């Protein structure tokens, strides 16, 4: 119970609960859209989704400063690739929050003379670039883990044993491909924080891609992917050891 209280007392914790609820509503609305007997339920879900979306904007009002501070920290990283990826990701995240805050001010009437659609598209572009750089960091980290793993004598013995115990693989699949996949899965299995962050970023990628029309899916796919990434965010926030670093 103490862990739940501590989690919900954090603005990030509340934001991720609201986010999970928002995308759960979006997915439910998509699944029930053709059910004429559930029109009242769909209407309530739409209202709840809108409430969750508006509530999340309040929680994100201070995130621009947090992203700028994060960018300052990542600029000090000695690894050039991590420095570039994380700094660009944090800068674009800050720009995304600026656009998001402007849209919130427009919705509540504090600002009237901005193009809502244009700012919304700019927010999606910044969000997309931030995710692309975060995924680039994930791929880079995974590659490093695979190189380290491949040099490990114990792992090479385990891989040789795997290939020898599955001789049919050589007849169906390219042996090198099977070895690569075995190395990849073993590396991710031994570093769950990297695996979770990669899955989360891939799921989140569908949201701006759909919004910008680059890869249009549907509300069900967006809702499902958003729900999965929200659950991963909740898990990693509740278990700091599952958060990727840096």
Residue 163 has pLDDT above 70, yes or no: no
pLDDT at 181: 84
* pLDDT above 80: residue 88: yes
**pLDDT at res. 166:** 64
Tokens standing for residue 27: 């997915």
The CA–CA distances, whole Å, from 31 to 100, 211, 213, 223 equal: 28, 20, 22, 10
Over the stretch 168-209, which tens digit does the pLDDT of each residue have? 554 545 567 777 888 899 899 999 999 999 999 999 999 999
Over its C-alpha atoms, the chain yields an Rg (Å, rounded) of 21
Residue pair 194/188 in contact (Cβ under 8 Å)? The answer is yes
**Contacts of 221 by beta carbon, 8 Å cutoff, 6+ apart:** 206, 210
Continuous H helices in 75-218: 80-108, 116-150, 153-165, 168-172, 175-190, 192-212
Q: Is pLDDT larger for residue 155 or for residue 243?
A: 243
Give, as one character, the DSSP assignment of residue 208.
H
What pLDDT is stored for residue 3 in this prediction?
56
56-68 pLDDT tens trace: 888 888 889 999 9
Q: Is 112 helix (H, G, I), strand (E, B) or coil?
A: coil
Which pLDDT does position 109 carry in this prediction? 84
- Name which residue leads in pLDDT, 125 or 160: 125
Q: What is the percent of the chain with per-residue pLDDT over 90, rounded to a whole number?
A: 65
The residue ranges of every structural domain in the chain are 2-133+202-242
Q: What is the rounded average pLDDT of the residues 37-55?
A: 93
Instruction: State the pLDDT at residue 31.
Output: 95
Contact assessment for residue 67 and residue 91, using Cβ atoms and an 8 Å cutoff: yes
Q: In this model, does residue 116 exceed pLDDT 80? A: yes
Name the pTM for this structure.
Answer: 0.89
Burial label, 215 (beta-carbon count in 10 A; 0-12, 13-18, 19+): exposed
Could you give the CA distance from residue 124 to residue 132 in angstroms, rounded to a whole number? 12
Task: Place 158 in a pLDDT band, splitting at 50, 70 and 90.
Answer: confident
């Amino acid at each position: 119970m103490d862990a739940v209280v501590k989690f919900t007392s954090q603005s990030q914790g509340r934001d991720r609960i609201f986010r999970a609820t928002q995308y759960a509503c979006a997915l439910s609305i998509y699944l029930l859209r053709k059910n004429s007997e559930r029109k009242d339920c769909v209407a309530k879900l739409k209202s709840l989704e809108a409430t969750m979306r508006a509530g999340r904007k309040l929680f994100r009002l201070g995130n621009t400063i947090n992203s700028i501070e994060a960018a300052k920290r990542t600029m000090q990283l000695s690894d050039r690739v991590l420095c570039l990826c994380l700094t660009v990701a944090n800068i674009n995240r800050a720009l995304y929050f600026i656009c998001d805050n402007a849209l919130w001010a427009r919705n509540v009437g504090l600002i009237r003379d901005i193009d809502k659609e244009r700012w919304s598209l700019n927010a999606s572009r910044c969000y997309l670039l931030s995710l692309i750089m975060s995924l680039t960091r994930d791929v880079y980290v995974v590659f490093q883990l695979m190189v380290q793993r491949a040099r490990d004598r114990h792992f090479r013995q385990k891989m040789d044993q795997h290939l020898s115990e599955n001789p049919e693989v050589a007849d169906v699949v390219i042996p090198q491909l099977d070895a690569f996949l075995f190395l990849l899965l073993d590396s991710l299995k031994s570093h769950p924080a990297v695996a979770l962050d990669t899955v989360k970023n891939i799921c989140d990628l569908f949201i701006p891609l759909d919004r910008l029309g680059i890869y249009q899916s549907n509300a069900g796919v967006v809702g499902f992917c958003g729900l999965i990434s929200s659950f991963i965010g909740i898990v990693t926030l509740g278990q700091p050891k599952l958060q990727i670093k840096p």
